[in-house]
Structure 1
Amino acid sequence: WRSMQADEISERDYWKTRTREVGQLVGEDWQDMSTFVQRARGADPQAVVRPEAVRAIDIAHQAGVRLAILSNELDLFYGKSFRERLPLLSLFETIVDATYTKILKPNARAYAMVGEALHLPLSACVFVDDQKRNVDGAIAAGMPTVHFDVARPARSYAEALAHFGLTLS
């Protein structure tokens, strides 16, 4: 984890290593990160989505905020069928997934792809992430940001909505 945070290895390399290690711990040969994620979280993606996330996304969508996802490994982690199994994703106008682009956060080009897909300047987008290195990358790219606190999700979602004059309640 520390090596990844220090940019000594990529996030993808970190998770590939963890996948193999955890698979070995349970006596199996795991090569695909989707195996690791599905075994750890179960087969129902809706069950692991925070209620605050659903509420915040719905509030933003209903207010006309254009939604996008910038992910380093969405399909690589969860498998291609994940998108059909999580209806919430249909509210997002675009998903920029490094599974296919091969450009991972915090590379400035990853953030630029979101602006290009939405036809918006990055200054009009709000980037939310739980990893400081990715937040720092977004700031360097010119995006307003929210450093998501996994211990206080409601506060982080409220902060994101506040950028658009919206509230979580």
Structure 2
Amino acid sequence: MRRALLLDLGGTVFRSGSEMMGIYGELEPAVRSVVARRGPLGPEPDELWDAMLREEITEREYWARRSDEIGAALGRDWTIQEFMHTLYTLPGEPMMRPEAAALISDAQAAGVRIGALTNDLKAFHGDGSMSQDPFIGQLDVLVDGSVTGILKPDPRAYEMALEQLDRPPSEIVFVDDMPWNVAGAAKAGMIALQLDLARPELVFDAVREHLELDREAA
């Protein structure tokens, strides 16, 4: 039985909101002072991000507050979906990480089942931008916590993905950019890897090793 691949979406397969905010700041002068605070990627300390890492606020609360701040800088009263749509439709900026695209293509060619376990696809993106990316339609499994009502790191979220992937947890390679989600996958018995937002390419090399893709290509 071949190992399967289970991926977070935003920040893992697709570029993180922190990256997209940096690009937005280059295009829109009104938001530059706000997006200088963007987690580990900004030139200024991000107290909200640090509070999220301490689990004083949730990831959804973090992004809601960043949305409000950027909206205020623009003089706009917008929804979180409008904010995310703006970030993920910047001209000339691909959403998907090239390393993720290459890995997914090679994994699919090797017959690896691929699933996504995300908390916020519908909540943040509705029926537009990321939700309409062709990759979503190619997935063998999609478990969206904003549809099921069960968010990572709740054990039930991983159980849903495991059931649909039809693999034992020890044969699932899981990747996420949030430490608590990685810890939840490890607790569920998966091979759990954390993507470093500052060096995202590194985790994809590790995934290839676990799936033995490079060995097979050689």
Q: Scaled by the length of structure 1, what TM-score is found?
A: 0.88
Whole-angstrom distance in 2 between the partners of 1:140 and 1:105:
12
Aligned to 1:35: 82
Equivalent in the alignment of 2:7: none
Q: Which stretches in structure 1 are left out of the alignment for 5+ residues?
A: none
Aligned mates of 1:76, 1:46 — CA distance in 2: 22
* 3-state SS of paired residue (1:76): helix
Which structure has the greater CA radius of gyration? 2
2:171 is the counterpart of 1:124: yes
Amino acid at match of 2:107: A
In structure 1, C-alpha distance between the alignment counterparts of 2:135 and 2:93, rounded to whole Å: 9
Aligned residues: 168
Counterpart of 2:8?
Answer: none
| Corresponding residue for residue 207 of structure 2 | 160
**Alignment map for 1:105-124 (pairs within 5 Å):** 105-124=152-171
The residue that corresponds to 2:51 in the other structure is: 3
Larger displacement relative to structure 2 (147-156 or 50-59): 147-156
Q: Where do residues 49-88 of structure 1 align in structure 2 (5 Å cutoff)?
A: 49-82=96-129, 85-88=132-135
Q: Distance in 1 between matches of 2:128 and 2:183?
A: 31
**Distance in structure 2 (CA, Å) of the matches to 1:4 and 1:95:** 26
- TM-score, normalised to structure 2, is 0.69
Q: For residue 96 of structure 1, what is the aligned residue in structure 2? A: 143
Q: Residues of 1 paired with 2:53 and 2:199: CA distance? A: 21
Map of 2:68 onto structure 1: 20
Over residues 12-71 of structure 1, what are the superposed CA-to-partner deviations in whole Å (9 max), with x where a residue is unaligned?
A: 22222222222112100122x221112123267981211111110000111111000011
Contact 1:135 1:147 in 2 (8 A): yes
Letter aligned with residue 3 of structure 1: A
> Which of 137, 140, 158 is the matching residue for 2:187?
140
Deviation of residue 72 (structure 1)?
Answer: 0.9
Structure 1 residue matching 2:143: 3-state secondary structure: strand
Percent identity over the alignment? 38
Q: Is the 8 A contact 1:103 1:110 kept in 2?
A: yes
Structure 2 segments unaligned to the other structure (5+ residues)? 1-48
CA RMSD in angstroms, aligned pairs only: 2.3
Alpha-carbon shift at residue 84 of structure 1 (Å): 6.2
Q: Which amino acid aligns with 1:7?
A: E
Read off the aligned partner of 2:178 and give its amino acid letter. Q
Secondary structure of residue in 1 paired with 2:62: helix
Check 1:117–1:62 CA distance in 2 against 1; reply closer, same or farther (3 A cut).
same
Equivalent pair of 2:115/2:142 in contact (CA under 8 Å): yes
For 2:85 and 2:91, locate their aligned partners in 1 and report how far apart those are by CA, in whole Å.
8
Higher RCO, Cα 8 Å, sep 6+: 2
For 2:143 and 2:162, how far apart are their aligned partners in 1? Answer: 10
| Deviation readout 1:117-168 (Å, 9 max, x if unpaired) | 1122222211101111211111112111111123333321111121111139
For 1:8 and 1:121, how far apart are their aligned partners in 2?
A: 33
